[in-house]
């Protein structure tokens, strides 16, 4: 039995989904952190620092899900 191939649509969907969701999550964390810092709360630095890795984590999770779907038999 031949394993399923990754299609162009899978790659495009992965890029769009991870970019949009990562941008929303990272941007929201950055906005909340900047608001807290502007209002004098020093712990607002925490969401600013973890915003980038958290948005990248979304793409990693989506790519792992795509890889799992391709390696498991139907």
For residue 61, what pLDDT is reported? 87
Place of tokens 């899900």: 65
Q: Give the pLDDT confidence of 54-74 residue by residue, as tens digits.
A: 888 888 888 888 888 777 665
Evaluate whether residue 31 is within a structural domain: yes
Indicate yes or no: pTM above 0.85.
Answer: no
The pLDDT of residue 36: 94
Long-range Cβ pairs for the range 38-41 (8 Å, 24+): none
Q: Is position 16 within any domain?
A: yes
pLDDT at 1: 63
pLDDT tens per residue, range 10-55: 888 888 888 898 899 999 999 999 999 999 999 999 999 998 898 8
2 in a domain, yes or no? no
Domain with 62 in it: 8-67
Q: Which residues contact 65 (CB under 8 A, 6 or more apart)?
A: none
| 40 in a structural domain | yes
The total domain count for the chain is: 1
- Is there a domain that residue 26 lies in? yes
Residue 29 within a domain:
yes
CA distance 33 to 17: 24
Residue 1 lies in a domain: no
């Amino acid at each position: 039995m031949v394993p399923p191939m990754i299609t162009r649509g899978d790659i495009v969907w992965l890029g769009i989904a991870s970019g949009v969701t990562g941008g929303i999550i990272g941007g929201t964390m950055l906005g909340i952190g900047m608001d807290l810092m502007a209002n004098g709360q020093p712990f607002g630095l925490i969401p600013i620092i973890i915003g980038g890795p958290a948005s990248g984590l979304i793409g990693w999770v989506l790519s792992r899900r795509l890889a799992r779907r391709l390696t498991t038999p139907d």
